[in-house]
Structure 1
Amino acid sequence: MYAVIKTGGKQYRVAPGQKLKIEQIPADIGQEISLDQVLSVGEGEQIKVGTPFVDGAVVKATVLAQGRHPKITVFKMRRRKNYRRTQGHRQNFTEVRIEAISA
């Protein structure tokens, strides 16, 4: 069984037991959260697609960690104008493990 969920402005295809890093959610480590924005649910040949969400479908997940992704460098430059700007950025994430999908 799998589901397509929407969280943090992104969509993820998830299955029970899968670990994944999503946009930061304010939750404690070990806490169980429910993701109710389920776009579709599928099992084998059957698939249920919502408009836009599947009614009554919930994905249960456990928070494993809160962290930050590696640093990326943002570099801007205009040629021949002596203009250079360097900036770094680290995005926050929440690592979750998908426990169950109920449709």
Structure 2
Amino acid sequence: MYAVVSTGGKQYKVQEGDIFRVEKLPGEVGDTVTFDKVLLFSDGESVKIGQPMLDDIDIRGHIVEQGKSAKVIVFKYKRRKRYRRKQGHRQPYTAIKIDTIGAGSIAPAEDITGTEE
């Protein structure tokens, strides 16, 4: 079972138990995160594609880490002009672990308890 979610202007393919980095989201370590922009959902047998989004899919996770990625050096140089500028940048990120991927309103509770008979 997997889904494709959109966050921070990028798209990510996620499965239950995956840990992935996204653009920084507000929150502390341990806070729950829900993704509402689900573009695609597959349960192994069928695939649902949003037009543009799926409303009935529920994806929940929690924040594992708030951090900064490796430093990127920005170096500007113009030859013969004595112009040199060196600048560093560290992009903040949020690491998220996916707890559940499910069809929120589609999954019937009757099947689990056996009261459908």
Q: Same fold (TM over 0.5)?
A: yes
Q: Shift of residue 41 of structure 1?
A: 0.4
TM-fit CA distance, 1:45: 4.3
Deviations 1:5-59 (A, max 9, x none): 0011111000000001111111111111111110100122421110110122121
* Runs (5+) with no aligned partner, structure 2: 104-117
Structure 1 runs not aligned, ≥5 long:
none
With the length of structure 2 as denominator, give the TM-score of the two structures.
Answer: 0.83
Aligned-residue CA RMSD (Å): 1.1
- Equivalence for 1:73: 73
Name which structure has the greater RCO, CA cutoff 8 Å, separation 6+.
1
Report the equivalent of 1:53: 53
Divergent runs of 4+, >6 A: none
Alpha-carbon contact 2:36-2:55 (below 8 Å) kept: no
% identity of equivalent residues: 44
* Count of aligned pairs between the two proteins: 103
TM-score, structure 1 as length reference: 0.94
Residue 28 of structure 1 aligns to a residue whose secondary structure is coil
